[in-house]
A and B are shown apart, each in its own frame.
Chain A
Amino acid sequence: GNSVTQMEGPVTLSEEAFLTINCTYTATGYPSLFWYVQYPGEGLQLLLKATKADDKGSNKGFEATYRKETTSFHLEKGSVQVSDSAVYFCALSHNTGNQFYFGTGTSLTVIP
């Protein structure tokens, strides 16, 4: 079946530190992969996506590369800001289904 395994949190970083949040997936065929961000008290916002192997998604300084050989889609940012404090969800969509598969979420707190 389809599933997403995400790095456990919470993660606490100092401002300007490097961020990596690990995400691996299990799926048959060719899923699309997404990172969503949820700020406190809000809904989920699409952060970035990749729809095929070796694609790199990027947005607001965040990047993730779709690695089929390691079934991974790790989220990275070179220099985090306090405003990046949020919960990050890795997700998978398969073209044979009609739903998303979410990871458990990783809470990030950035301290000044």
Chain B
Amino acid sequence: DTEVTQTPKHLVMGMTNKKSLKCEQHMGHRAMYWYKQKAKKPPELMFVYSYEKLSINESVPSRFSPECPNSSLLNLHLHALQPEDSALYLCASSQGKGYFDGYTFGSGTRLTVV
């Protein structure tokens, strides 16, 4: 299995809703990442988990809350989002720091906040 699977593919939520994005990989990668991508822009790093511990938080607002329940799963809990949070959310994983093999990305969750 050489994939990163993200669910759901599309999500529409109101500003008062609580929802979660899910990411799963079975490649034995011990580093996992959340990125946010706006249209026509490169991905922006949000969070890095290394061996299930949060190692980087790029000053992301607290309405985004990551969770890594085990080495294969990564969640992103969403609460009280703003319309400007609408974007493509990408999950990625890597063997080590990705220096030799790069990152493997999922197909993303297209989030629309209304």
One of B11-19, B37-45, B79-87 at the interface? B37-45
B: interface residue count bin: 20 to 34
Q: Are B98 and A93 interface neighbours, CB within 8 A?
A: yes
Question: Does A70 sit at the interface, judged by CB under 8 A?
Answer: no
Q: Are A44 and B41 interface neighbours, CB within 8 A?
A: no
Question: Does A107 sit at the interface, judged by CB under 8 A?
Answer: yes
User: B residues within 8 A CB of A49?
Assistant: 101-102
User: B residues within 8 A CB of A99?
Assistant: 33, 45, 48, 56
In angstroms, how far is the closest chain A Cβ from the Cβ of B75? 17
List 25 A–B pairs whose Cβ atoms lie within 8 Å, in order of A's numbering: A32-B99, A34-B102, A41-B110, A42-B108, A43-B105, A43-B107, A44-B43, A44-B105, A46-B102, A46-B103, A46-B104, A51-B99, A87-B40, A91-B102, A93-B99, A95-B97, A97-B97, A98-B31, A98-B48, A99-B48, A100-B102, A102-B42, A105-B40, A105-B41, A105-B42
Within 8 A of A (CB), among B83-100: 90, 92, 97-100
Q: Which residue in chain B gives the minimum CB-CB distance to A90?
A: B42
Q: Are B40 and A32 interface neighbours, CB within 8 A?
A: no
User: B residues within 8 A CB of A32?
Assistant: 99-100, 102
Within 8 A of A (CB), among B1-29: 4, 6
Question: Does A94 sit at the interface, judged by CB under 8 A?
Answer: yes
In angstroms, how far is the closest chain B Cβ from the Cβ of A64? 13
Give 7 A-B pairs besides A42-B108, A44-B103 with Cβ atoms closer than 8 angstroms. Answer: A36-B105, A43-B107, A44-B105, A89-B42, A99-B33, A99-B45, A107-B40
Using a CB–CB cutoff of 8 Å, the interface residues on chain A facing chain B are: 32, 34, 36, 41-46, 49, 51, 87, 89, 91, 93-95, 97-100, 102-105, 107
In angstroms, how far is the closest chain A Cβ from the Cβ of B33? 8
Q: Which residue in chain B gives the minimum CB-CB distance to A4?
A: B42
In angstroms, how far is the closest chain B Cβ from the Cβ of A58? 15
